[in-house]
A and B are shown apart, each in its own frame.
Chain A
């Protein structure tokens, strides 16, 4: 199985900050990575597919990059609504796997 490892596990930041979350795959997955946002008590919300393609309606302050084994999710200027937990997911092959999550907290 392909392991997805996110770092950091927790990130403290302030409104307006630029933040980056990293996701590393245990083997190459080309660009087959998606990112999701989850708020407490809510279902995950899709953000990005194919490493860097923004989902419909997702604010442009979110961006993704990477290929092969290393991927990043960047939020260019944090808004209050962005404090949540973020997950990466590989879909190059079954079993699909998620990273363990990165909790973005208010500093």
Chain B
């Protein structure tokens, strides 16, 4: 069974940094692109960033480009999101998801980790 488990969320001050992790199991991690999607409280889904299976190709939403860095460690079956210069509008539940066929749709999703940016 494919499982994704996010961790690392918490409360951070504006301008601060936070690192998220997503540990994967149940599939050959290095064969699949992975993605972060976020959901602000009471709002819809927003794609944040994706990374290909090798880790060489990375993609970002304009809202986070230059502040967030996606990476992966295939030896540890772990996806990361380093978030710097955090803003109040980055407050959201952050989900990691497996790119099912390396084509751009996501299945499954983790349960999410909450990031709150507030003073």
Contacts and interface: CB of A to CB of B under 8 A. Distances in A.
A8 B103 CA distance: 28
Interface residues of A, number: 23
A38 B107 CA distance: 13
B100 interface: yes
A interface secondary structure, majority: loop
Interface stretch (B13-21, B22-30, B70-78, B109-117): B109-117
A44 B95 contact: yes
B45 A91 contact: no
Interface string A64-107: 00000000000000000000000101011011111111000000
Given A49-B100, A49-B105, A100 B44 contact: yes
A96 B104 contact: yes
A46 B62 contact: no
Nearest to B101: A49
Contacts of A44: 37, 45, 95, 106, 109
Contact of B107 (A1, A55, A96): A55
Interface of A: 1, 32, 34, 36, 38, 43-46, 49, 55, 87, 89, 91-92, 94-101
14 contacts: A32-B104, A46-B100, A46-B108, A87-B45, A89-B45, A91-B105, A92-B104, A94-B50, A96-B47, A96-B50, A97-B47, A98-B44, A98-B46, A98-B47
